[in-house]
C-alpha cells in the first residue's frame, strides 16, 4: 500500500512536484518527570474536538522489535538527530522527540528515521516514518516494524525531471537492488520505454539514490533484492506493499 506524505512544501514553479501534500498535526509528548504518569495533550485546531488531555504510553522509546531491527535507533542521540519540523508529522500519532535519528545526508537533503506510536490506546506497536528535510520537506511511511522487515519502506521527492529515493532497510542489509518496470508506473503516469535496475549501498539502515523518474514512480519499485555484506541474497520481495 502506498502511503501518502504529510506536509510537503509547496512548489511554486511549474513542473515541481513532491509526492503529496496534506498538512497534519501530531501529538508531541514531552519527557515526563521521574515516576509520573504521562499525559499527552490533544492536537489543537483543524478539526479537534476538545475533550481534554489523554493518558497514553508515550513518550516511550521505540519497541524492542524496532531496536533489535534497526541499529540506527540503538545508537546514542546527538543534537543533529532532532527532527526539526514537528508540523509535518501525521495526526493520530504520538512522537517522542528523543527517538528520531538522522540517517543520511544526500543531494542537499537530510533523511531521518522518526518512530512513533499510533495512538494513546493502540497496541499496534512502533510505526516507522522517514522524514526528509530539503527542497521538498516531507514525512512519509507509517509502516510497522514487521512490514519494514519484509518490504523496506520507500519514498521519494523531486520533480518531473527526476527524484531522490530513500529506502529504509533493517539490519543486515548491505546492498539493495531495485527494479522499475517499463510502461506506466501508475495509472495516468509517465510511460517509460525501458525498465530500470539499480544497486545501491545501504548505510545506517537507509539506501538513498537518484533516479530519472517522477516521485510517484520512484517511490514504488516493482521488485527488490536485499544482500548481505558477503553478497548473499537475504530476501527477494516486491516494493512497497
Give residue-wise pLDDT tens across range 180-217. 998 876 777 788 889 999 999 999 999 999 999 999 99
Grid coordinates given for 149: 522487515
pLDDT at 31: 53
Grid coordinates given for 103: 540517517
pLDDT at 16: 47
pLDDT at 120: 55
The CA–CA distances, whole Å, from 213 to 3, 17, 103, 144, 233 equal 18, 12, 23, 27, 27
Pairing verdict, β 94-95 and 27-28: parallel
Grid coordinates given for 167: 529506502
pLDDT at 144: 95
Residues with Cβ < 8 Å from 124, sequence gap 6 or more? 117, 118, 144
The position carrying cell 539514490 is: 209
Distance CA 147, CA 168 (A): 11
| pTM of this structure | 0.78
pLDDT at 75: 96
Backbone angles phi and psi of 206, in degrees to 5? -145, 135
Better pLDDT: 176 or 125: 176
Least Cα distance to 211 among 227, 195, 225, 188 occurs for 195
Least Cα distance to 70 among 82, 58, 61 occurs for 61
Residues 5, 85 contacting (CB under 8 angstroms): no
Amino acid at each position: 500500500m502506498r502511503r501518502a506524505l504529510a506536509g510537503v512544501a509547496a512548489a511554486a514553479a511549474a513542473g515541481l512536484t513532491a509526492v503529496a501534500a496534506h498538512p497534519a498535526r501530531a501529538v508531541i509528548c514531552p519527557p515526563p518527570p521521574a515516576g509520573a504518569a504521562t499525559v499527552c495533550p490533544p492536537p489543537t485546531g483543524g478539526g479537534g474536538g476538545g475533550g481534554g488531555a489523554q493518558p497514553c504510553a508515550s513518550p516511550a522509546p521505540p519497541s524492542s522489535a524496532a531496536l533489535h531491527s534497526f541499529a540506527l535507533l540503538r545508537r546514542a542521540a546527538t543534537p543533529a538527530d532532532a527532527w526539526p519540523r514537528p508540523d509535518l508529522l501525521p495526526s493520530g500519532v504520538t512522537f517522542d522527540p528523543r527517538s528520531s535519528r538522522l540517517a543520511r545526508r544526500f543531494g542537499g537533503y537530510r533523511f531521518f528515521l522518526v518512530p512513533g506510536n499510533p495512538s494513546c490506546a493502540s497496541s499496534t506497536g512502533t510505526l516507522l516514518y522517514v522524514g526528509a528535510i530539503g527542497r521538498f520537506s516531507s514525512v512519509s511511511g507509517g509502516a510497522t516494524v514487521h512490514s519494514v522487515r519484509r518490504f523496506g519502506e520507500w519514498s521519494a521527492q523531486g520533480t518531473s525531471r527526476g527524484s531522490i529515493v530513500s529506502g529504509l532497510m533493517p539490519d543486515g542489509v548491505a546492498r539493495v537492488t531495485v527494479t522499475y518496470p517499463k510502461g506506466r508506473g501508475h495509472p495516468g503516469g509517465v510511460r517509460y520505454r525501458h525498465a530500470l535496475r539499480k544497486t545501491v549501498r545501504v548505510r545506517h539502515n537507509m539506501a538513498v539514490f537518484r533516479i530519472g523518474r517522477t516521485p510517484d514512480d520512484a517511490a514504488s519499485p516493482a521488485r527488490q533484492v536485499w544482500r548481505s555484506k558477503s553478497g548473499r541474497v537475504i530476501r527477494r520481495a516486491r516494493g512497497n506493499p
